Structure 1
């Protein structure tokens, strides 16, 4: 009996990796370059990136932290994200690189203070469809955000989202035909929208760290990433228990057999020695 129990323990330990969480799917989803330069609160930006990295591992996209200098080569990038960026961010060649990237089909996601980035850049103001009027409200207030249906970006976001933020006022307010409003406050003021023809998305929330910890807000951002990357298929979650490819499975099975075989011999010898010792004592 002891021999059987020991053998089962050896096999269970050898097989344990097969039942643990598997690695995420091989990189092949959208490549997202995120820039946080000039943000007003580094702790919020760091937390936002941390949460987005978790979303990336879970939802099969790659998050790449970078700076404005990385905009010189966007060949392998699908989406550029200005996460709470400050006013002074890009020089003229970098602005030209972003414009060429977006007009060529690339995605641009901007959050919170990114609406104030490069206030004299006419193209950026035009694709965002608005300009922030003055600094955001102070103090921060809790507001309910309601989402509009009919967009892949807001799919599944049926309930109101309550967040505490310092809110921007926009002039003009984004509207058709240039922009599609995706969410608004109870007052009707738009706070989330996308460009009608380019893959440009803006979300006014995101200045407070708690917003980045909200499940619905993260869903909004990851679905915006998928949309911005031009992905047509459904957003599929990486499975923690997905089976590995068969060559790896075969190798692993052989490894388990070898470990179990060697372990059984060791257990048999140990059990035989203990039996002999007990017999001698008796």
Structure 2
């Protein structure tokens, strides 16, 4: 009987150890990316010359917000139809070359995570923005899996730390920043209720103009789990959730909201995306 108990105990111990190891490996991959393939073949582009063209890029090599990505596509396409834009949707990085990027008014990293472009493609996007192009990032595009200094400095202006875990999703009042760009905020709601996974960054975004913020003291921000015991902090009372920056002659826009498909059913959030696109391509 004792032998049986020993076998059961060692089996359970082995299972726990294996689960712990798999969890650690998964967290490492989320932060550092899964195996990466870089697409280098240039696609054939046929964009209507009379319409502003937008590149909607949803490639992921880190955590994939699949439901949000799929929910976003018809919504953004509907906004394009409404505003006379043209959307080129892809998860192939071959379009990131100077010649083809120049045909777009805006590039959207649509919950793109991990290392998604090779060195030459990253450089092409940097030059595109700095020469007058625009870059927008949605939610996961701002996590810490990209490992690209220019991108972090010019899209975010800050570094991702964690997101709340207990509970992961929380309701909060999203409030307009009074000093937000007057053109950008013209058609936006002064406040609205959001239910999202509120990203916590190590500091407020530098050299950025905030559009929306929440009261960070009214959410539970802790991201502690297992071996991570240093994530029990938030961003304080003033917690930005949407902002924009200048990058050379270009501009960037980022919102940390948009984790789930439900965000795309919220008219106030969709209006933020619409206004962010309009402002970016003006």
TM-score of the two chains, using structure 2 as the length reference: 0.67
Unaligned runs of 5+ in 2: 1-47, 216-236
Correspondent of 1:119 among 114, 123, 146? 146
Match in the other structure for 2:14: none
Q: 1:89-238 residue pairs with structure 2 within 5 A? A: 89-116=116-143, 119-127=146-154, 128-135=156-163, 137=165, 138-149=167-178, 150-151=180-181, 152-175=183-206, 178-186=207-215, 187-196=237-246, 198-229=250-281, 231=282
CA distance in 2, matches of 1:117, 1:37: 16
Following the alignment from structure 1 to structure 2, what is the Cα–Cα distance between the partners of residues 212 and 192?
16
| Aligned-residue offset at 1:117 | 6.0
Tell me the CA shift for residue 156 of structure 1.
Answer: 2.3
TM-superposed CA distance for 1:43, in Å, is 2.3
Q: Residues 66-96 of structure 1, C-alpha deviation per residue, up to 9 Å, x if partnerless?
A: 1322212212111000011111211101110
In 1: Cα distance, 2:144 partner to 2:85 partner: 25
Contact 2:173 2:214 in 1 (8 A): yes
Query: How far apart are the structure 2 equivalents of 1:41 and 1:118?
Result: 14
Measured against aligned partners, the alpha-carbon deviations of 1:169-225 in whole angstroms (never above 9, x if no partner) come to 1122114xx111111002310110000454100001011111112112112112211
> Once superposed, what is the RMSD of the aligned Cα atoms?
1.9
1:3-22 correspondence to structure 2 within 5 Å: none
**Alignment check: 8 A CA contact 1:181 1:192 kept:** yes
Asked whether the 8 Å contact 1:27–1:62 carries over to 2, the reply is no
Instruction: Give the helix-richer structure, 1 or 2.
Output: 1
Cα distance in 2, alignment partners of residues 28 and 141 from structure 1 = 42
Offset of residue 134 of structure 1: 2.9
CA distance in 1, matches of 2:267, 2:101: 30
| Residue 143 of structure 1: how far off its partner (Å) | 1.2
Equivalent residues, number: 203
Which of the numbers 78, 82, 86 marks the counterpart of 1:54? 78
Contact (CA 8 Å) 1:74, 1:101: kept in 2 or not? yes
* Structure 1 unaligned residues grouped into runs of 5+: 1-25, 232-282
Larger-gyration structure (1/2): 1
Asked if 2 retains the 8 angstrom alpha-carbon contact of 1:27 and 1:60, the reply is no
1:92-112 CA-to-partner distances (Å, cap 9, x unmatched) read 011101101100110100010
Larger strand proportion, structure 1 or 2? 2
Question: Partners of 1:206 and 1:41 in 2: how far apart?
Answer: 9
The match for 2:5 is none
